[in-house]
Structure 1
Amino acid sequence: MWLDKVNVLLVDDHEPNLIALEQVLENPELNIHKASSGQEALEMMLTNEYAIVLLDVNMPEMDGFEVAKLMKARKETRNLPISFVTAINKEKKYAIQGYEIGAVDYLYKPLEPEVVKSKVSVFVELFRLRKQSENRLNVIQSSMDGIAILNEDMRFVSVNDALVNMLGYKEEIDLEGELYELIVDPSKDIELTKEIFKQLGNSGRWKGEIYCKRRDGGAFPVSASLNQSSNGIICIIRDITERKAAEEQMRMLQSVVENANDMVVVTDPMPINAPDGPKIRYVNAAFERVTGYSKEEAIGQTPRMLQGKKTAREQLNKIKQALIEGKEAHVELLNYTKNGYEYYNDLRIVPVKNSRGEVQYFTSIQRDTTSRKTMEQDIKRANKELETFTYITSHDMRSPLVSLKGFCGELEEALDTLQPAIESGLSSLSEQDMAKAQRARDLYIPSALKYIKLGTQKLDSVTGLLLELSRTGRRDLSFEAIDVNQLVRASLDGLGHQIKQSDISVTVDELPDVVADPGAFAQIIGNVLDNAIKYLDPKRPGEIRVQGKVEQAHTIYSVTDNGRGIPKNQMHKVFEVFRRVGDVEHIAGEGMGIAFIKTLLNKHHGRIWCESEVDVGTTFFFSISHHLEQQMSVQ
């Protein structure tokens, strides 16, 4: 039963009467409460609900009529059914008085048990029905959906608070009695309106989506259910504005994913180490285009269908371990298309979890990097060939340069040897020819030899630098954690004579350590410091400052000077090979220092750049990637 027991209150100042009446009404479905006075009865009514009160008329202090009047004066007991019971006041006027007060019945003693039981059972059943109705009403009122009952004329008979609020009204009375057209405009969709009425007429029900009108005229989508009942048409309305917005956003996201250039693959949450592995649940058009597999062919298979003999096991194990631990995985794999062609795949897999932390599915973004890898390999091969060519050319040029330098020296010695003979022979020449010969001997020949020697030295220096640069590019580096402060101090010690001679003030901040090749780092910092010293302005005391800072992906070092500065229109030349900017006539160098630095920094996944202002100074920055540190920690 939906309501276990119902309370009935008996009120009489004579205990025997209460006991007798209790025996008459005894029933397992009833709770019989007894009160021996009007005051006690009123107090019990405040804490209990009763289906009916059987109230004795004649009681001392407060008779039954007085109790009834007080009950009707209270909101809590106003509607509680009262049946008066009396053995004395049997005159008609007393019965009328009882009914006027609000009684539902007037019983005379001696009571007929079957009559009393029958009348009480009626009120018990009414109480049950009323409670059932109240409970249903509470359910309706507490529902988040809008609920309404319409009569046969399609006018609102009853509405709940949710519908009132949903439509922007203040009270139920604002809607009750109004036509359904108040909230639905049939002219907006005539065919749909016809279909609704047709289905209501045929089956007595309709369910679908329509647009409702708010009080302010604004329309919003709802899911509606209409059912014909004996009480009228019951209409249940749910605001689906948020759902529609979510669906629209989902459609937009689906369109973006489906039309993305990158491949998107979604797999089920089967354990990554299961024999068959996670099965593919979704692939986008890019996947079909790159791999050659259609959606139908891919869904239900495992991503292993793309792997082959050259797919790196190490990378696959990395994926497996990351996903077992519930982490992201980011690798580059060599995969295979349906036709067996190799392609490089930059792959990022993310486990998508629910609120309980359970994996719902794996989603991966995959990018075909075959063109990039091919280009990188072509560039690497071309650089290798260029390095080899530079090395061979530089090496082969050294021999004729050595010979050329040697022959210049021999020519100078031969000229000195021939001087006496030339001097004696001059006397036989005419004055004009003698002057020409002397100019050739004393000016032209020594000058020509001088320029040959200088050119040879210059070319020898350049070929030597090219050879060194080639060796630098070909050299394998060894990365380790280094004390940068110590390396900088060593570089400054090596430049100590120049620093002291030029009275330069050098400030070195506390520098962060880094993972790098010690020899290469020493060359980098040495070259940058040497450049800073060379390009100081001799008109003012030189100042140099070395600093460093750690960022997310790199450690950055900087060397700042108060030198001559670089004009903005020449900044692009700073990093060109054999190019030097500014007034460099009296500054030694071939313009190769930055080229060495760039080559070494490329091997550290870093770069070099600068900021400068004429007559203020220049700051050179260079970075070392943290990738080297991560690489070393893995090893």
Structure 2
Amino acid sequence: MENTQVNILLVEDRPENLLALEAVLTSPQYRLIKANSGIEALKWVLKEEFAVILMDVQMPLLNGFETVKMIREREKSKDIPIIFITALSQTVENVLYGYSVGAIDYIIKPFDPIVLKCKVDGFISMYTQKKIILEQKNLIASRTKELERVYTELKKKEAMSRAIGETSIDSIVFFSEDGTILSLNPTVKKMLGYSDGELVGKKVDLLFDLSISDIPTKANVETTAIRKDKTTFPIELHIADTEVEHEKIFVCTIRDITERKHYFEMLESLVKERTLELSETNRNLHNEIEEKKATMKQLYESEEKYRQLVENSPEAIIVRAVSSENISFINDTGVKLLKANSKEELVGRSMFEIVHPSDQEKARKVYKQLSRGETILPYEEKLVCVNGDVIDVQIKIIPFVYEGKASLHIVIRDMTEVKRNEEFIQQSEKLNVVGELAAGIAHEIRNPLTSLKGFTQLLEYKYSTDSDYVNIMIQEIDRINTIVSELLLLAKPGHDDFREVSLDQLIQNVTTLMSAQANLHGITLQPKMDPNLNSVMIKGVENKIKQVFINIIKNAIEASGAGGSIVIETMRVCDHIVISFTDTGVGIPKSILQNIGKPFFTTKATGTGLGIMVSKSIIESHDGEWNIRSKEGEGTTVEVKLPILKDL
């Protein structure tokens, strides 16, 4: 293979990032071609052959994923190794999507220039080897073509031989009156497993499960053939006789009916099976008729019970006459809903006395519509309880006859809990918006970080110096990157990331990891695990839960003084497991406890206020609960409640 330069395509919409990539990869063996958009990259792929492509994900007009899809659709470029370089989220979904569209590798900005150069060198080496292998492949192809020609000739001869065998005449046996075999055709020998000369002169009953005296003449008969190895199979015999020079000769044609027998047996089995199905269907119909009769009887007998159930319905029910506003009946559930002491407090009162003033006009409009015979769908309004409390309810009104009078059957459903759930969903949607906003901000911050960190590391790599400035710059860039990473963690993990996790093993790993830091501050970690819960498995993202536990212990260490302790306990509550972390620190004042977990609220001089918010978001994404109890001067307890997947 000639020693020529190898083409590498760099695709990046930011000139400073292209310059950084060029500085890292410059080499006499490489020809670096730069493209500042996906469209320009596609043009270069049509003109040149590339050993590897470095592709940015976020680009205007045509992003990296779409560009790679189009490259992979072209025969010329479908096998080029492509490395994604991105400042976007590091979630498994994005990485897997990158691989699914055709990426070979996935590098997150800011990247290490040494690692990037080593990876590119590796792909160049594979490209060179591929060229050598291609030359060898062409040589092998020419040899293979010659072998295929010879193989084709052999296949033709094989097909001709098989055709002769398949078009053979029926098996025929000639035997004398005493049953001695006189001659036979080759098919008989093949059918029964004998070789030439083994059957002539032997008795014909050697071949059939019939004695000579039982063999009919001029007839068809079914019997069993006997092979040389004593195995048997069903056959049909067609026998005729003739005389040759006053000697009776029998001609017997043999037909293998194994397949026909199989079809008959299968048909018989199907008939039996269908008969059983019809019998079962008949029994089921009979049972269904009997069940319907029993059901009708039960419905008739339970009519009175049904009336009682209506009166004791779990939903509040009010009855009022169409011609009057006074309440004529209310069930016990309605009394409890409206917080009255007895039915007497409500029966006789006007319905409009319990309707909130803001909904009075709506209620009167509904009753007018009912009086005109219009259908009213369930609607919501506010009611005023006897004690003055205001509740949100859903009203469903059904016209019916009560005690001989046209009345309204009013079903009231308490919507208080539903309203709370709606508020919770709205809050969750706000957090999702925050997560999306955080991901966008992180992307915009990481792009300039790529150039800053890349050039800084390149300066240190090419021009080593004793100055501390470079290290300080890299440390500060890493701190910015850490904050960006915390912002990205606000996005909840996808369900595809969830796996079975051993909670006992996870807590042991976290305790081992944090022991050194605790000892450094003179603090003791005291795991008090319930031995009955050692085999508990939960479903989740192990690294995310581990991050939550590390964050809790880290906060506890910072809040505790030398000589303090942190107790880690586990406890089962129904189908959940509760993990509690209790420290002996200074505690959290009641005035700020309610603000803990809000975005960017922190009591630390250098904190971001995202740690607890991220941890709480992770636990909620695992269908868990988060609770903090604290008393100033006595310490803090953080409880994490997670659903149990199974016990081993």
TM bucket (normalised to shorter chain) is 0.3 to 0.5
Higher relative contact order (CA 8 A, sep 6+): 2
Larger radius of gyration: 1
What TM-score, normalized by structure 1, do the two folds share? Answer: 0.34
